[in-house]
Amino acid sequence: MNQSQRFTDTVVFITGAGGGIGRATALAFAAEGARVATTDLPGAGHQETARLITENGGTALALDCDVTDSHDVVSALDQVVSTYGRLDAAFNNAGIEQSHDTIAELDDAEWHRLLSVNLTGMYLCMKHEIRFMTAHGGGTIVNTSSGAGVMGIAGQAAYAATKHAVIGLSKSAALESISDGVRINVVAPGVIDTQMIGRVSGGTEEGRQAMVDQEPIGRLGTPEEIASAVLWLSADESAFAVGHTLIVDGGQTVG
**Per CB under 6 A, does 229 bind ligand NAD?**
no
Q: Of 38, 114, 159, 229, which is the active-site residue?
A: 159
**Per CB under 6 A, does 18 bind ligand NAD?**
yes
Find the part of the chain contacting ligand NAD (CB under 6 A) among 2-10, 49-57, 89-97, 201-209: 89-97
Binding residue for ligand NAD, selected from 26, 77, 161, 197, defined by CB under 6 A = 197
Binding residue for ligand NAD, selected from 58, 95, 139, 250, defined by CB under 6 A = 95
CA distance 76 to 65: 6
Binding residue for ligand NAD, selected from 12, 13, 15, 227, defined by CB under 6 A = 15
**Per CB under 6 A, does 22 bind ligand NAD?**
yes
Residue whose CB is less far from ligand NAD, 182 or 227: 227
**Per CB under 6 A, does 114 bind ligand NAD?**
no
**Per CB under 6 A, does 250 bind ligand NAD?**
no
Q: Is 236 exposed, middle or buried (0-12, 13-18, 19+ CB in 10 A)?
A: exposed
- For the chain, what is the total number of helices (H) and then of strands (E)? 9, 7
Q: Is 130 helix (H, G, I), strand (E, B) or coil?
A: helix
**Per CB under 6 A, does 191 bind ligand NAD?**
yes
Alpha carbon distances (Å) from 44 to 47, 202, 213, 234: 8, 21, 31, 25
Q: Shortest approach of ligand NAD to residue 189 CB, angstroms? A: 4
Q: Is 2 exposed, middle or buried (0-12, 13-18, 19+ CB in 10 A)?
A: exposed
Give φ, ψ of 62 to 5 degrees.
-95, 130
User: Reading across the β-sheet that carries 139-144, which strands appear in turn?
Assistant: 59-64, 35-40, 11-14, 89-92, 139-144, 182-189, 245-248
**Catalytic center residues:** 159
Task: Give me the residues that bind ligand NAD (CB under 6 A), please.
Answer: 15-16, 18-22, 40-41, 44, 65-68, 93-96, 117, 121, 144, 146, 189, 191-192, 194-197
